[in-house]
Structure 1
Amino acid sequence: MDDIDQLREAVRNSPDNLPLRRFLANALMKNERYEEAEVEFKDALRLAPDSPDLKVGLADAFQAQKKTGLGLVIVEELVKEPKPPARAWLVYAKLLLQGKQAEEAKDAYETAIALNEGLRDSYLESEINLQLKAPAGPEKIKLQAGGPEGETGTRDGIDIERPKVRFDDVGGMDKVKEEVRMKIIHPLKHPEIYKAYGKKIGGGILLYGPPGCGKTHLARATAGEVASNFIPVGISDILDMYIGQSERNLHAIFQKARSLKPCVLFFDEVDALGASRTDMRHSAGRNVINQFLAELDGVDYDNEGVLILAATNAPWHLDSAFRRPGRFDRIIFVPPPDEPAREAILRIKLKGKPVGDVNYGRLVKKTDGFSGADLEAVIDLAIESKLEEAMRKGIPS
């Protein structure tokens, strides 16, 4: 029995022992068992719901799993407190960096080390500096989120993409693709047929399923299929510490999409933004949800031609009002890839690489239960194992 197992046994014998639960959660983090650590931090928070250290620990577990939006929800509340823990600023910096907000990450990191010099992290410093120096990608255009900043009070800009990826570049998911075609693609390509039946062009689709199964990739491919603009929206693009600012940010994003239609608007981790209002203590979160619902309804503005996709790993956490007709009325499960889908993903990912005779049938059998992200990781590991030999010979092998 290793140390972790011994700690688990101790927790089972003393389930209300808060220091013991905290110790177990931190031990799991050190052993890079982040999903298990997340569970333990949540259990500990049930015993001490106002503990800043436990909240920081949970946010760090989210950060380690790249659940950026969920982590930001926690630390953005913490750093508003009069005396937040220095480590909250450090985790905030890491999450902001994951969200490609290098300037804000730099400010948060500097605050952390000003409070506690012992938190200095040379790797994080180099990553922040690297992102600050990186040029913008060729497929992204930075557009203003409205009028002058002094008039609107919105964020500096909104990322607009024009994806080149198509459905052919997405392995498997044939049923999901067909539903997206009927709801989004066919109305844009054959508007006269839909108008004859009184159907508007637009609406919302909620994609849900396990992480790493291609929800974001499918959303980009949807925009690529209809050659439309694509606006990816994370929770960090909306939430703001100042009262009323989050609602203005959300409105600005919808207005930009309306001005660029046809446009695909994609909300990732939408459950973090649209969590059930009955679970919320503060009115600020409820106000954001009410604003979101108003934008979806398009009462004051025309949403025709704005195609709204959202992704979540936990649809049961989403406020029930989002699932009413006219909002996210089509809910589609994106499952882990089956055998034909895994083969299609492997063929797409290996295309153009120096490979020999690949036994796809055997690979498919051995990767039962793998997500698309898992398959990509397997290919990356295989490539790394061949790079040393290729570098030695000077040619790909």
Structure 2
Amino acid sequence: MDDGVIAALRRAVASAPDDVELAAHLAEELSVRDQHDEAIGIVTKLLARAPENERLRGVLADVLRRARPEAPVVAPAESAPVAHAARFDWSAAERQLAASEAAALDDASRAADVLSDEVPVTRLSDVAGMSDVKRRIEATFLVPARNPELREMYAASLRGGLLLYGPPGCGKTFLARALAGELGANFFSASITDILDPYVGASERNLHDLFVAARASSPAVIFFDEIDTLGQRRSSLRNAAAMRNVVNQLLIELDGVDGSNEGIYVLAASNQPWDIDPALRRPGRFDRTVFVGPPDAAAREAIFVAHLRKRPIGELDVKALARATEGLSGADIAFVCSAAAEAALMDSVGTGRARPITMDDLRDAIKETPASIGPWLDTARNIVTFSDDGTYADVKALLRRMRRS
């Protein structure tokens, strides 16, 4: 190859700066011509962006071997000068190679970092109220999991996952951790930010690595938060091929195509279950569903107690507070407690005397705190009114209770 080819490669790389293979080819040809500094500069810049790329690490290693002063350097032709790159910082380049390899290992094990090394200590008994939700979780998931002999006798399968759905701020994640604690399983939690990656194919790899790590640590619970974002309807992703591939990869992993999912319990939470790709709701995938609505009276009492326990309080009627906050989410009630504490604090600063949080503080905070689930209820009303086939009967019942249907 002559220098005209190098010039052509440089032009091609300039016109396609994201083409890793093309840039790596240019670096190899530059190295053959003893232009090691430029070759190493190209490869190290690419490695900074894609440290897991084995092709680039191999090219850098080859360039370093060619460029070492003590190694023979092959000239492309007798007339071409031999250039020993003695001025190049070999130690720095080798550190770059080692760092890229370490980064690649870190990237490959990133899914394992999501794992809580300790089995969650939370149990369903720690979840106040919500007796109907806990009963359904017991029946659909825990009873088969805890009774392997009976499961085998009745040929019952644990394949598939459990979808917790409902308005935001109502404790779906807490329930998932409690379920992991009941199963005595390691807990992997993955959100969209843990999975999605701007590089082509990296998101699918992240999903695969997560399941690999969970299979190696079974029994394990994999919990997908906001599964409606990660597993969107593919019909709405016609112009987003990358996201369609993520949904396809999730289906592959749920089916256990690349490995056994024995001992892997897959949970997911969603605020918008109607946006989930229908294929994810088929048997063997997220085929069990439990609606997690706003906390009931017992749960609201427990939330008030939990958020006021470490704050100075006067005489409070927790049952009255629970009655006054029907329709508020757990997050809303937490905000009410914070707002009441802030009012008491500011009053204490103004008077110069510390005082406890009172019922008046809490009542005022409740009046100023609208139910955050209002927009969700409006969307849900449209769904159950115009397109529900009976799937969301629990949502319809909630709408009747909230008088929004």
Aligned to 1:327, the other structure's residue is in SS state coil
Is 1:160 equivalent to 2:115 in the alignment? yes
Query: Which letter maps to 2:114?
Result: D
Indicate conservation of the 8 Å contact 1:276/1:317, yes or no. Answer: yes
- Matched residues in 2 for 1:159 and 1:361: separation? 39
After TM superposition, give the deviation of residue 202 of structure 1 in Å.
5.2
- Matched residues in 2 for 1:210 and 1:348: separation? 21
Cα distance change, pair 156–392 in 1 and its aligned pair in 2 (3 A): farther
Cα distance change, pair 321–198 in 1 and its aligned pair in 2 (3 A): same
Cα distance change, pair 244–334 in 1 and its aligned pair in 2 (3 A): same
After TM superposition, give the deviation of residue 320 of structure 1 in Å.
0.5
The aligned residue for residue 249 of structure 1 is 206
- The TM-score with structure 1 as length reference comes to 0.58
Cα distance change, pair 383–394 in 1 and its aligned pair in 2 (3 A): closer
Is 1:327 equivalent to 2:280 in the alignment? no
Residues 36-91 of structure 1 deviation map (CA, whole Å, 9 limit, x = unaligned): xxxxxxxxxxxxxxxxxxxxxxxxxxxxxxxxxxxxxxxxxxxx9xxxxxxxxxxx
Query: Which letter maps to 2:151?
Result: Y
Indicate conservation of the 8 Å contact 1:185/1:226, yes or no. Answer: yes
The aligned residue for residue 185 of structure 1 is 142
Cα distance change, pair 349–152 in 1 and its aligned pair in 2 (3 A): closer
- Matched residues in 2 for 1:386 and 1:230: separation? 39
Indicate conservation of the 8 Å contact 1:153/1:248, yes or no. Answer: no
Cα distance change, pair 356–335 in 1 and its aligned pair in 2 (3 A): same
Indicate conservation of the 8 Å contact 1:170/1:345, yes or no. Answer: no
After TM superposition, give the deviation of residue 316 of structure 1 in Å.
1.0
- Counterpart of 1:311 (choices 243, 247, 269) is 269
Query: Which letter maps to 1:378?
Result: V
Indicate conservation of the 8 Å contact 1:169/1:348, yes or no. Answer: no
After TM superposition, give the deviation of residue 148 of structure 1 in Å.
7.0
Number of residue pairs aligned between Structure 1 and Structure 2: 253
- Counterpart of 1:204 (choices 161, 167, 175) is 161
After TM superposition, give the deviation of residue 178 of structure 1 in Å.
1.8
Indicate conservation of the 8 Å contact 1:262/1:305, yes or no. Answer: yes
Is 1:345 equivalent to 2:303 in the alignment? yes
Query: Which letter maps to 2:215?
Result: R
- Matched residues in 2 for 1:235 and 1:351: separation? 34
* 5+ long unaligned stretches in structure 2: 1-17, 19-48, 50-100, 358-405
Is 1:215 equivalent to 2:169 in the alignment? no
Correspondence list, 1:42-61, <5 A? none
- Matched residues in 2 for 1:226 and 1:361: separation? 33
Cα distance change, pair 224–277 in 1 and its aligned pair in 2 (3 A): same
Residues 234-283 of structure 1 deviation map (CA, whole Å, 9 limit, x = unaligned): 11111111111111100000111111111111111111111111111122
Say what the alpha-carbon RMSD is for the aligned residues.
2.9
The aligned residue for residue 335 of structure 2 is 377
The aligned residue for residue 39 of structure 1 is none
Cα distance change, pair 331–302 in 1 and its aligned pair in 2 (3 A): same
Is 1:233 equivalent to 2:190 in the alignment? yes
- Matched residues in 2 for 1:191 and 1:148: separation? 42
Cα distance change, pair 152–195 in 1 and its aligned pair in 2 (3 A): farther
The aligned residue for residue 266 of structure 1 is 223
The aligned residue for residue 14 of structure 1 is none
Identity among equivalent pairs (%): 46
Indicate conservation of the 8 Å contact 1:154/1:245, yes or no. Answer: no
Indicate conservation of the 8 Å contact 1:204/1:328, yes or no. Answer: yes
Indicate conservation of the 8 Å contact 2:224/2:267, yes or no. Answer: yes
Asked which structure has the greater CA Rg, the reply is 2
Indicate conservation of the 8 Å contact 2:164/2:268, yes or no. Answer: yes
- The TM-score with structure 2 as length reference comes to 0.57
Aligned to 2:327, the other structure's residue is in SS state coil
Aligned to 1:211, the other structure's residue is in SS state coil
Is 1:173 equivalent to 2:130 in the alignment? yes
